[in-house]
Amino acid sequence: AQTVTQSQPEMSVQEAETVTLSCTYDTSENNYYLFWYKQPPSRQMILVIRQEAYKQQNATENRFSVNFQKAAKSFSLKISDSQLGDTAMYFCALGGGSQGNLIFGKGTKLSVKP
Amino acid sequence: DAGVIQSPRHEVTEMGQEVTLRCKPISGHDYLFWYRQTMMRGLELLIYFNNNVPIDDSGMPEDRFSAKMPNASFSTLKIQPSEPRDSAVYFCASSPDRGGEQYFGPGTRLTVT
């Protein structure tokens, strides 16, 4: 079975600082995708970043980057220069292979403090 | 593209009433998903469709819940009869690929009194 674990229920960071959110996963698939979603207080689920497992290069989207460690089955999200608007719940998700759906972690609630 | 569209955005109903939630996926997306989110249980997958065919409905809590996708641009999730424990935010999402990124609608906040 595929699983996704986010071990940090809550985190906080000062504005302009850098924060890293952790995610580990387990899968027997060779081809899969990993995602980070953001859910701000508005509750809209927003795709932040995507990583294909076959790519060694870590994905980057502006201030958001990932550290993908395939052997360790780790997929952390780094947010640089944190902004107040980054305050949200962040979900790690695993997809691909034989399944059509995504497997979501339980989320990490991030608070950015002024 | 307008993104995934859900209606209504808010629904308040009394216990025992029928509730119908609606979703229009992004055009060209072959996969459609229904989720439920609560504080206690987090984000739960209820059912998903591929090319309008239900693939996995193992997350549907009980027979009171049903979902249909009569065509590629429309899906419904029905609860009959509704109960207070059904109160939650219900999301619809669509995806162009199997296991690929999903695009979520704004959600429907359902309150059953």
B98 and A32 in contact by Cβ < 8 A?
no
Q: Which residues in chain A are closer than 8 Å to B98, comparing Cβ atoms?
A: 96, 99-100
Q: What is the pLDDT of residues B25-76, one digit of tens each?
A: 999 999 999 999 998 888 999 999 999 999 999 999 889 999 999 999 999 9
Spatial CA neighbour of A6 closest among A84, A113, A91: A91
Q: Are B93 and B101 in contact (CB under 8 A)?
A: no
Long-range contacts at A3-8 (CB < 8 A, ≥ 24 apart): A3/A103, A4/A92, A4/A93, A4/A94, A4/A103, A4/A104, A4/A105, A5/A105, A6/A91, A6/A92, A6/A105, A6/A106, A6/A107, A6/A108, A8/A108
Distance between CA A57 and CA A51 in Å, rounded? 9
Q: Above 90 in pLDDT, residue A5? A: yes
Q: Which residues in chain A are closer than 8 Å to B43, comparing Cβ atoms?
A: 91, 104, 107
Q: A100 or B101: whose pLDDT is higher? A: B101
Distance between CA A10 and CA B72 in Å, rounded? 39
